[in-house]
A = this chain, B = another copy of it.
Amino acid sequence: MTMNGQWRLRTRPDGMVRESDFEYVEEEIGGPGEGQLLVRNLYLAFEPAMRGWLNDVKSYVPPVGIGEVMRASTVGQVVESRHPGFAAGDIVSGMLGWQQYAIADGEPGMMGRLTKVPAGIPPYLVLSALGGTGLTAYFGMLDVGELKEGDTVLVSGAAGATGSVAAQIARIKGAAKVVGIAGGAAKCKWLVDEAGCDAAIDYKSEDVGQQLRQEFPKGVDLFFDNVGGEILDAALLNMAQKGRVVICGGISQYNEKELPAGPRNYMQIVIRRLTVKGFILIDYFHKAQQAMTDLGAWVGEGKLNHAEDIQEGIENTPKTFLRLFSGANLGKQLLKIADPE
Residues on A lying within 8 angstroms of B by beta carbon are 59-60, 228, 233, 247-250, 253, 259-280, 283
Contacts and interface: CB of A to CB of B under 8 A. Distances in A.
A282 to B, nearest CB: 10
B279 A270 contact: yes
B280 A267 contact: no
24 contacts: A228-B266, A247-B269, A248-B270, A250-B266, A250-B267, A253-B267, A259-B265, A260-B264, A261-B261, A261-B264, A262-B263, A267-B278, A268-B278, A270-B278, A272-B278, A273-B277, A273-B278, A273-B279, A273-B280, A273-B283, A275-B275, A275-B276, A276-B276, A276-B277
Contacts of A263: 262-263, 266
Nearest to A254: B267
A307 to B, nearest CB: 24
A270 B283 contact: no
A247 B275 contact: no
Contacts of A228: 266-267
Given A247-B269, A269-B276, A270-B250, A262 B261 contact: yes
Contact of A262 (B262, B271, B274, B277): B262
In the complex, the count of this chain's copies comes to 2
A90 to B, nearest CB: 34
A278 B283 contact: no
Contacts of A265: 259, 262
B277 A275 contact: yes
Contacts of A247: 266-267, 269-270
Nearest to A61: B271
A235 to B, nearest CB: 13
A276 B267 CA distance: 11
Nearest to A233: B262
A9 B65 CA distance: 60
Contacts of A280: 270-271, 273
A268 B279 CA distance: 10
A253 B267 CA distance: 9
A264 B262 CA distance: 4
A280 to B, nearest CB: 6
Contacts of A264: 259-262
Nearest to A49: B270
A274 B269 contact: no
A238 B264 CA distance: 21
A129 to B, nearest CB: 22
| Closest A-B pairs by Cβ, 8 of them | A261-B261, A262-B262, A270-B278, A269-B278, A262-B263, A276-B276, A262-B266, A259-B264
Contacts of A269: 247, 276-278
A77 to B, nearest CB: 33
Nearest to A277: B275
A158 B277 CA distance: 25
A266 B277 CA distance: 11
Contacts of A250: 266-267, 270
